[in-house]
Amino acid sequence: MKPTSKIYVAGHRGMVGSAIVRKLRADGYDNLITRTSRELDLRDQRAVNEFFATERPEYVFLAAAKVGGIMANNVYRGQFLYDNLMIEANVIEAARVNEVKKLQFLGSSCIYPKLAPQPLTEDALLTGPLEPTNEPYAIAKITGIKLCDAYRAQYGCDFISVMPTNLYGPNDNYDLETSHVLPALIRKIHEAKKEGSPEVVMWGTGSPKREFLHSDDLAAACVYLMHEFSDYGFVNVGTGEDLSILDLARTIKEVVGYDGEITQDRSKPDGTPRKLMNVDKLHAMGWKHTIGLREGIERVYAELEGKDWY
């Protein structure tokens, strides 16, 4: 990509897309194309085709997706599968037809089998059953990876895939019905402090371990990989470090300054026992994250204070 290249960031209002836009602009890329979901419904094939034919982007970051946490994934199973399949199929096909120079598809660490050996290496894909609660979303993301690979094989398209670990950062979702664990805990603990509640109840046992990457780090990796990676398969993007959900809650409690107790609702599901990315492939390519977890949470919470963020 050159500073003058025409770049389309799909999903620019989301946490990932907005971070990519910030990174591109910071790096001097000023010919960016964006559309809100109201302006362009990526599930609508005709609308997507017309958009690509008119705008003719040279590069595409496909960060648009229907996303949510364990509750949303489990409840809205049909919607998560359908919406994500349509978004990726329409954008990837339109990129091929309109001769986009390079496309980057953003997936998720949930693509891996529930009991895959830890840390998760890229070759573990499709080696076992998926976590049942987010299976529809995972299947959609796996399809996106395979679609990029198939288009590379059949048409010679330079379409690549990137698989981030659990993310957090500016423009995250704090809706308790649809959010991921880190923003959900920030909101719960913030509200408990504000209301003087003696306890915060978290789902499950708190024992599952998760890895978290700040969205600004992901954006830096995405731009880096757009330059440096061109191959079949995909690249894990993460920190290579994890912690238990209970320890995450305790860290957030310290950052927020909450004095109450963290208790567990053991009737609720835990989800996958552990999801740690192996990032050897990424490190070997010359990129590592720079924002530590506590620092990242402090930055996020400082950005939220004084705002109407939920």
DSSP string, 68-109: --HHHHHHSHHHHHHHHHHHHHHHHHHHHHTT-SEEEEE--G
Closest CA to 208 of 298, 131, 144: 131
For residue 310, the model assigns a pLDDT of 65
Rg of the chain (C-alpha set): 19
**Helix ranges, the chain (H):** 15-26, 45-55, 70-75, 77-97, 135-155, 181-195, 215-228, 245-256, 280-284, 293-304
Binding residues for NADP(+): 11-17, 106-109, 141, 164-167, 180
The answer, yes or no, to whether residue 280 has pLDDT greater than 90, is yes
pLDDT digits (tens, 9 = 90+) for 19-39: 999 999 999 999 999 999 999
Residue range 278-299: average pLDDT? 97
Average pLDDT, the chain: 94
Contact status, residue 96 vs residue 157, Cβ threshold 8 Å: yes
Active site residue 137: yes
The one catalytic residue in 29, 59, 76, 137 is 137
pTM score:
0.93
Binding residues: 11-17, 106-109, 141, 164-167, 180, 188, 203, 210, 270
Distance CA 79, CA 38 (A): 18
Binding residues for substrate: 188, 203, 210, 270
For 23-41, the DSSP string reads HHHHTT---EE---TTT--
Quote the percentage of the chain above a pLDDT of 70.
99
Residue range 237-260: average pLDDT? 96
pLDDT digits (tens, 9 = 90+) for 255-271: 999 999 999 999 988 87
Distance CA 228, CA 255 (A): 36
Domains and CATH numbers, the chain: 7-171+211-241+276-292 (3.40.50.720)
Provide the residue type at 106 as one letter.
L
